[in-house]
Amino acid sequence: MADISKQLTKTSKFSHSLKERLDTLGCPYTEGVDESWVLELISKPGEPRIRLLQWLFSKLDSKLNELLDPHNAPIESKMDSRIQRLLYVSSTLGLCKYNDVDLIKGITTGSKQCSFVDQLLDLVCIVDVSEDPRAKIFQSPGVVGESSGLSEQYIADCNYVDQLVIDENMSTLFNSKVNLLRPDIYKNIEMKWVEKGFSKGIPPSVDINQLKEKAYTVANNLDRQTVLLQDLTRSCTYSENGSAIVSTTTRTLQVVLSELSQLVVSFTYCYENEMRLWCNKTPPVLTDLGLAFKRVYNVLEQFVEFLKHLDSIHKSYSELGQDVKIKVTSKTNLVLTSQMALENFQECLTILDESIQRTTGPEASCISTITSEQFC
C-alpha cells in the first residue's frame, strides 16, 4: 500500500509539473484541461500526442517548424514520414536512439515516455527563458544565488534597466502632466482635431453648452437603460445554484471542450493528409466544348418537343379513325341487314307468285311479275 501511495504521489507531482510548464510555455493543446488529461495526452498514442510533440519542437527552434509542418511535406508523404522526421530531430538532440520509433509513436513503457517528454520540456523551457529577456531578468532581480556569480547578476540587472529604458519613454516618466484618456483614444481625438482644421498642439476651445447638452443626453439614456434593467430584473428570476452544481457544470464543460478540441485536431489532420492533397491540385483547363454541348442540348429539346407534338397528332388521328371505323361498321351492318330483308322479301314474293300461278293461271303470273319489277 505504501508503494502504491508513493507511486500515486509521484505521478501527481509529475502531472502537475507538466501542466505548469506547458501553461508557462502557452501550449494551446493543454489550455483549460485537468492535469490527469495532460498525463494521458503524453502517454496515449494518437494524433493529439504527435501534435504536441510538433508544437514543442517548433517552440524549441522555429526552423524545426518548417521541417515538421505537414504543409511543407511533399504530396506523396504519409503519417510514417512525419514520425520519421520527429525521430530524426529527437535523436539529433540526444533525446532517444535513432531507431526508437515506438517512443515517438507513444507505444512504449510509461516511464520511458515520461522521461522523454520531461527532458524535452526542460530543453524547451530553457530555450524559452533564454530567448525572453524579460522572463530571464524577472527571475531573481537583485539577488545573487549559488547558480550565478556577482558579475552575471550585475549584467542581468543592467540588462533589466536597459530594457526598461528601451520599452518606456523616459520623458513620460518624469512628465508633470497626466493624460486622463488612454493613448489610443487621445490619438483618435487628435486625428479628429486635424480633420477639423486644428493642430495637435493647440486644441479647439471647449464649448461648455455643448458638453452640457451631451451630458444631459447621456444621463437620459442612462436613466432609460436603468429602468429597462430594473424591469428585466423583476420579470426574470435566476435560480441560485450551489457550488457543487457549478463545479459539476464546469467540469462537464471542460470535458466537452477538450473533446471538441480533439475533434478539431482530428479534422485538421484529416484535412491536411487526405483533403489538402486534392485542394492543391491545379484546376482543369476548360475548352469550348461546352458551347457544342449547349447547341446539341437545344437541338435535343426541339426534337423532344417535336416528338411530343407528333404524338399528340397521332393520338388525334387514332381517335378520328376509331370514330370513322365505328360509323362505317354501323353502316355496313345496316346494309347487310337491308340486303337480308330484301332477300327474304324476294323469297316471299317468289312463293306468292308460285301460289298465284297455281290458282289463277297466266294472268295472275303477269300481275305478279309487274309487281316484283316495281319493288325492285
Place of cell 502531472: 15
Angstrom distance (rounded) from CA 253 to CA 93: 39
pLDDT of residue 220: 94
34 dihedral zone (left: phi>0; alpha: psi -120 to 50; beta): beta
Q: Radius of gyration (Cα) for the chain, nearest Å?
A: 52
Angstrom distance (rounded) from CA 123 to CA 194: 53
Angstrom distance (rounded) from CA 32 to CA 256: 11
Q: How many CB atoms lie within 10 A of CB 52?
A: 21
pLDDT of residue 300: 93
For residue 116, tell me if it sits in a domain.
yes
pLDDT of residue 228: 92
Q: Which residues contact 157 (CB under 8 A, 6 or more apart)?
A: 137, 141, 142
pLDDT of residue 141: 45
For residue 223, tell me if it sits in a domain.
no
| Domain count of the fold of the chain | 2
Q: Which residues contact 67 (CB under 8 A, 6 or more apart)?
A: 85, 89
Residue 304 belongs to domain spanning: 291-375
Query: Of 82, 106, 131, which residue is a domain's last?
Result: 131
pLDDT of residue 269: 83
Residue pair 8/1 in contact (Cβ under 8 Å)? The answer is no
Q: Which amino acid type is present at position 274?
A: E
Query: Of 105, 131, 157, which residue is a domain's last?
Result: 131
Q: Which amino acid type is present at position 146?
A: E
Q: Which residues contact 272 (CB under 8 A, 6 or more apart)?
A: 70, 71
Residue pair 112/101 in contact (Cβ under 8 Å)? The answer is no
Q: Which residues contact 345 (CB under 8 A, 6 or more apart)?
A: 375
Place of cell 297455281: 358
> In Å, how far are 36, 218, 240 from 231, measured between CA atoms?
46, 20, 20
For residue 316, tell me if it sits in a domain.
yes
pLDDT of residue 303: 93
Alpha-helical (H) ranges within 132-182 are 133-137, 150-167, 170-173
Angstrom distance (rounded) from CA 36 to CA 19: 9
CA angle (89 as vertex; 86, 91 as ends), nearest 5: 105
CA-based torsion, 78, 83, 85, 86: positive or negative: positive
For residue 286, tell me if it sits in a domain.
no
C-alpha 209, offset from chain centre: 54
For residue 370, tell me if it sits in a domain.
yes
> In Å, how far are 52, 77, 162 from 279, measured between CA atoms?
26, 15, 50
Residue pair 41/29 in contact (Cβ under 8 Å)? The answer is yes
For residue 240, tell me if it sits in a domain.
no
- Tens of pLDDT, residue by residue over 60-109, are 887 777 777 655 554 444 445 778 888 888 888 888 888 888 888 888 88
Angstrom distance (rounded) from CA 125 to CA 117: 12
pLDDT of residue 142: 43
The ranges of the chain with pLDDT < 70 are 1-8, 69-80, 130-150, 167-170, 172-173, 238-242, 361-376
pLDDT of residue 226: 94
Query: Of 102, 131, 160, which residue is a domain's last?
Result: 131
C-alpha 256, offset from chain centre: 18
**What's this model's pTM, rounded to 2 decimal places?**
0.37
Angstrom distance (rounded) from CA 6 to CA 161: 46
For residue 42, tell me if it sits in a domain.
yes
For residue 333, tell me if it sits in a domain.
yes
